[in-house]
Structure 1
Amino acid sequence: MTTRLIRVGNSQGIVLPKKLLQQYQLTGEVDLLPTPEGLLIKLVAKPRRQGWDAQFQQALAQDPAPEGELLEGFTDDAFEETE
């Protein structure tokens, strides 16, 4: 695929076709990595579950046993009787 460099302010850029953006799921920020063969464009890998630990610790500080209310009224007596 061939494309042209275009002027973007004092810099230059390229326009990536929609099909390529969709195929490689490129959205938001990307990393540009120089390689001996050319320029590699990669999606910025954001760590999954970032901040979950802090949110979990905050929830525990507010109520150390939140699961108790969720399971109230549920038993496995029917399973025990049939099996």
Structure 2
Amino acid sequence: MKASLIKIGNSQGIRIPKPIIAQCGFEGEVEFLVQNNQLIVRAIKSSRHNWDSAFKKMAKNGDDQLLDSENISATEWDESEWEWK
């Protein structure tokens, strides 16, 4: 597929057909990368995308316990070397 550059104010742009936008999952903003003289346009994913399902899976597997809970006793290092600043 080819596209022509169009003038947008002092810049230039490319019109992206709606089916391509849907196929790529573009919503609101996109990210540009330039690699080897190629422009890569990709969807911006939320940094917390799918966290909810991951946390539910952790809880189901019992992997959501705190490592420093009251059940765990302090080590010798904790007692002799640790210092709050």
- The bucket for the TM-score relative to the shorter chain is 0.5 to 0.7
CA distance in 2, matches of 1:45, 1:23: 15
* Residue identity matched to 1:36: N
Alignment of 1:53-68 (within 5 A): none
* Residue identity matched to 1:28: G
The answer to which structure has the higher helix fraction is 1
SS at match of 2:21: helix
* Residue identity matched to 2:44: V
* Residue identity matched to 2:29: E
How far residue 13 of structure 1 moved from its aligned partner, in angstroms, is: 0.3
Match of 1:36 in 2: 36
SS at match of 1:21: helix
TM-score normalised to the size of structure 1? 0.55
Percent identical? 37
1:30-59 alpha-carbon deviations (Å, 9 max, x no partner):
11000115100011122126xxxxxxxxxx
CA distance in 2, matches of 1:5, 1:43: 21
How far residue 28 of structure 1 moved from its aligned partner, in angstroms, is: 0.7
Match of 1:18 in 2: 18
Gaps of 5+ in 1: 50-83
Moved over 6 A (4+): none
Match of 1:46 in 2: 46
Gaps of 5+ in 2: 50-85
- RMSD across aligned positions (CA): 1.7
Aligned length: 50
CA distance in 1, matches of 2:20, 2:37: 19
